[in-house]
A = this chain, B = another copy of it.
């Protein structure tokens, strides 16, 4: 039937019709694939295929796989200053709850994408461990514990990080049930008191 119209035509070259934004399509596809496969596992060809464009576009628009990863994943979706202000806005006794709820409500709508992408790339991409450390510890937690008058501030910051990172791992990366599908409120009630203890409780 319709002989000759079955085979897929080679795509026409040259500029796209109009309105289509190759750069944005690549960024969106890159976020998906980097989240699923990590830096090494995500191939330029697979990202380009999902975006519906040629792999050479990655070099043209981002200067290579490295630049695409930097733009798509390493760039944080939220302004850290706003985040810190929001976390510090309220009584000290409820800061644990604000931390847990904030991370869950920021990550849940996107399935923990950026977090999962970083964890999945922590081996293959040297920058990633540094970015994780810089964001979690230096940018967020150190500035939060600085406002508390408790001893062992740095240890408290990394203890909080251990619980938040662990929550992200279990919920978004390895998906242990029932935690992976639990309500935000349930998790806040369960986890927040522990985070609170790390921040203001007695550690020894």
Q: Which A residues are within 8 Å of any B CB, using their own CB? A: 36-38, 40-41, 119-120, 122-124, 129, 132-133, 136-137, 154-155, 158-159, 161-167, 169-171, 173-180, 182, 186, 189-191, 193-194, 197-198, 203-204
CB of A45, distance to nearest CB on chain B (Å): 16
Q: How far is the CA of A161 from the CA of B166 in the complex (A)?
A: 8
* Residue contacts A-B, CB under 8 angstroms, 16 given: A37-B124, A40-B40, A40-B41, A119-B119, A120-B123, A133-B176, A154-B177, A158-B170, A158-B180, A161-B176, A162-B176, A163-B163, A163-B166, A186-B204, A189-B203, A189-B204
In the complex the two chains form, is A178's CB within 8 Å of B164's CB?
A: no
In the complex the two chains form, is A166's CB within 8 Å of B162's CB?
A: yes
In the complex the two chains form, is B155's CB within 8 Å of A190's CB?
A: yes
CB of A174, distance to nearest CB on chain B (Å): 5
In the bound complex, residues from chain B placing their C-beta under 8 Å from that of A37 are 123-124
In the complex the two chains form, is A124's CB within 8 Å of B41's CB?
A: yes
In the complex the two chains form, is B190's CB within 8 Å of A176's CB?
A: no
- In the complex, the count of this chain's copies comes to 2
Q: Which residue of B lies closest to A195 (CB)?
A: B194
Q: Which residue of B lies closest to A167 (CB)?
A: B162
Q: In terms of DSSP, what is the predominant structure of the interface of chain A?
A: helix
In the complex the two chains form, is B194's CB within 8 Å of A197's CB?
A: yes
In the complex the two chains form, is A167's CB within 8 Å of B166's CB?
A: yes
Q: Which residue of B lies closest to A180 (CB)?
A: B158
Closest 10 CB pairs of A and B: A166-B166, A158-B179, A162-B166, A194-B194, A120-B123, A38-B123, A162-B170, A189-B204, A158-B176, A190-B203
CB of A30, distance to nearest CB on chain B (Å): 15
Q: Which residue of B lies closest to A38 (CB)?
A: B123
In the bound complex, residues from chain B placing their C-beta under 8 Å from that of A129 are 173-175
Contacts A129-B174, A165-B166, A175-B129; is A159 near B191 (CB within 8 Å)?
A: yes
Q: How far is the CA of A114 from the CA of B77 in the complex (A)?
A: 32
